[in-house]
Structure 1
C-alpha cells in the first residue's frame, strides 16, 4: 500500500472535449479516450483515473495524475465515452469505478473510493502513452463490491484528542474501535465483517508470518507519518518505506464461531485491538515484490490508524472528515502518537 490515499478533487475533473492551449512548441501532449463497459445497470456516475504504474488500485493506493468522469445522465443515454486531455507522454495505469450508490465524495479522502454496490475493474490497465498520440482504451467494470469501507471511530478518546502509545517492546496496550458509517455510507449497516484470511483460496486459513495465529479480515495497523526532519528506512531507489505497527484483534469471543472455515463471516459492531510492540518496514522492490523487515524499535512520532477489508476498502483516522471546517466529525480528527517509554507521558495506554 502506498503512502498516499488517492484523493481526487472534483475541480480537477478532465472531461471529454477539453481544449489544449495553443503553443508554438511541437505538440507532445497526448489524449487518452475510450469508453466504460458496464456489467450492471447504468446507475450512478463513473470516475476514471490515471495513476503512476506503482500507485494504481487495487494493489496500491496512490494519488491520481489525471481524473475524468462520465455522469449518470450520459450513461443512461447509452453514452459511456470518457477522455483525458493534455496527458504527458509516459506509462500510466487506468483504473476507475461506477458509484452506483452515490456515496462517493471525491473531495474527502476516505470517501473517494468504491463502496457497497459499486462496480470496479478486476485490475488496472497499463497504458504506454506516446507524444501527441490519441490512445483508444476500454475499461470494463465487471465486479460488484459487496461491503462498504470499514469506517470506524476509536472508543477511547485520549487526552486532548490524542491516543498516546509508547515505543516499549514489552508494554501490552489495547484500545477499542467501533464501526460507524456516520450517515455517509450506503449498503449494509456499518459493521466489521470478520472472516479468516485465505488468499490462495485453498479453504485453509492463512498464517502468513507463521506465528501460529490465523490471519483475519479486516486488517488493522498504525502507519507512521514522518514529520519534516524525521527519516526512516529507504528502498533501493531512495524512496521512504512504509513503517507499520501491526494491531491484533482480540479474537477470543468469535474465533471458535468461525470454526477455521474461511467461508464463515461475522458482522461485529466493535473490536478490541492489541498493539503488537514492533514496527515493520514495507517496501516494493523490482523483481521481488513486497519486502517486509522488522525494525529495531518503533519510531516515535505521529501515526494514522488504518483498517483494510478483503476487497481493498479502507478507512483511516485522522481523515478529512475530522479536518473539514463545516460540520467536522470530531472522532475522525483523533490522532495517534508514539513517545519514548521513559517520557513523561503516562503509561502509554489511551
Structure 2
C-alpha cells in the first residue's frame, strides 16, 4: 500500500485551529506578554490570525490545539498597523504560527473552516519562543507564502443508512466509496477540486513509492481515522500517549493515468474520486529520537471513524464535522458518520452503505 498517507498524518490529525480559548492563569504575577508585527508579502486584505502552540503541535509540521489566539483586523492592516499581542501568557516554550485570511472564508468557530485556504498567506514555518515569567517578548511573524489550493472539501456520494456509512473489519473484502468535491458555498476563490498528482517529495522528477510496494504515492490522500469511545483502547507510545489509528484509502487513478503520463509535474483537477479501502489498520506514534513510528495492527478496530482528505499543501477536510452538527442550517452530508463492524453476519464486507 502507499505510505504517503502516513507521511501526511502528522500535519493532518487534530483540529487545525479549533478550541481557541485563552486559558486562565493561576499565577497572575508570572504572566508574560508576546508582541510584535505581522510582515505581509501580499496586499493588506483580510484579517490576520496568530496562535501560540505547544512546541510539538504547531503547523506546518504538526497541528494541534493552540494555547493562545490573537488577531489583527483588516482595518488596522490597511492603515499600516500590523501590531499583534498576546497578554496573560504563562511562562513556557511555544511556537508562533498564523495566517492572513485574504478571502475572508476562515471561521475559527467551525473546525474544517478554521484553517488557511486558497489565496491566504502563511509562514514558511512556525517560530519557537521561550517565554519567561513577567517578560515582554518581542517577535515578528512573516507571511511570505501564498496558498494555491482550495481546501479539499467533499461529500460522500453514498449517504449511508440513517446517516451512517458502514464498513466491515474484513481483511480480504474489497470495499470502496465515492467522494465528490464540493465547497457548499462557503469557500471563496477557485472552485474546490481534487488536485490529483503523483507525489515527488524529493523533487527528482520520479514518482515516489516510499514503501516499495509497486504502487506510486499520490495526492490527495485519504484515510479513515478511528475515534475511540469510552472503554475502547488504542496502542500507547513510549510516554503513555494514545496513538492515532487510521485505515488508509487509495484513490482510483485509472481515469487519470493517461493524462498524468507518470510525470509528477502534471496535475489533474477532478470533481470526484473513487476510494478503495486498504483492509488494515495502522497506529501512528511519535517516539523520542525516532520520529514517526508506524505499526500495523492485527485487526481493524470496530467502532466510529472520520473520513479525512489531505491535499498537497496540508489543507484538510473531514466528515463528520461541525457544519453537519449545526442546529441552524446544517450542511447536508457533513454529518455522515463512518462505522466499522465485525464481518460476521454481514454481506461479506463489501462496504455497501
| TM-score normalised to structure 1 length | 0.94
Q: 1:13 to 1:41 in 2, by over 3 A?
A: farther
Aligned ranges 1:74-223 → 2 under 5 Å: 74-223=76-225
Measured after TM superposition, the shift of residue 266 of structure 1 is: 0.3
Any conservation in 2 of the 1:13–1:68 contact (CA below 8 Å)? no
How many equivalent residue pairs? 342
- Answer whether contact 1:49 1:94 (CA < 8 A) is retained: yes
Q: Determine whether 1:320 maps to 2:330.
A: no
Tell whether the 8 Å contact from 1:339 to 1:345 is kept in structure 2 after alignment.
no
Give distance in 1, aligned partners of 2:201 and 2:146. Answer: 19
Taking the aligned partners of 2:249 and 2:119, their CA distance within structure 1 comes to: 29
Counterparts of 2:206 and 2:273 in 1: how far apart (Å)? 23
Contact 2:303 2:339 in 1 (8 A): yes
Superposed displacement of residue 340, structure 1 = 0.7
Q: Is the 8 A contact 2:47 2:71 kept in 1?
A: yes
Secondary structure of the structure 1 residue equivalent to 2:180: strand
> Which residue number in structure 2 is paired with residue 17 of structure 1?
none
Matched-pair contact (CA < 8 Å) for 1:220–1:248: yes
* Greater RCO (Cα-Cα under 8 Å, separation 6 or more): 2
Q: Match for 2:239 among 237, 240, 256?
A: 237
Partner of residue 287, structure 2: 285
User: Displacement of 1:254 after TM fit?
Assistant: 0.5
Deviations 1:95-140 (A, max 9, x none): 0000000010110000000000000000111111111111111100
Please, which runs of 5 or more residues in structure 2 have no aligned partner?
1-9
Matched, 1:259 2:261: yes
Equivalent residues of 1:13, 1:69 under 8 A apart:
no
Q: Are the structure 2 counterparts of residues 166 and 26 from structure 1 closer, same or farther at C-alpha, using a change threshold of 3 Å? A: closer
Structure 2 SS opposite 1:69: strand
Distance 1:288 1:73, change over 3 A: same
SS of corresponding position for 1:182: coil
Are the counterparts in 2 of residues 147 and 187 from structure 1 also a CA contact under 8 Å? Answer: no
Q: Over aligned residue pairs, what C-alpha RMSD do you find? A: 1.8
Give the CA deviation at 1:60: 1.6
Is 1:40 the counterpart of 2:42? The answer is: yes
Classify the secondary structure of the residue corresponding to 2:66.
coil
Q: What is residue 275 of structure 1 aligned with on the other side?
A: 277
Q: CA deviation at 1:284?
A: 1.1
User: Corresponding residue for 2:226?
Assistant: 224
Deviation at 1:346?
7.2
Instruction: Find the aligned partners of 2:18 and 2:224 in 1 and give their Cα distance.
Output: 24
Q: CA deviation at 1:256?
A: 2.5
- Distance in structure 1 (CA, Å) of the matches to 2:223 and 2:182: 18
| Residue 337 of structure 1: aligned partner | 339
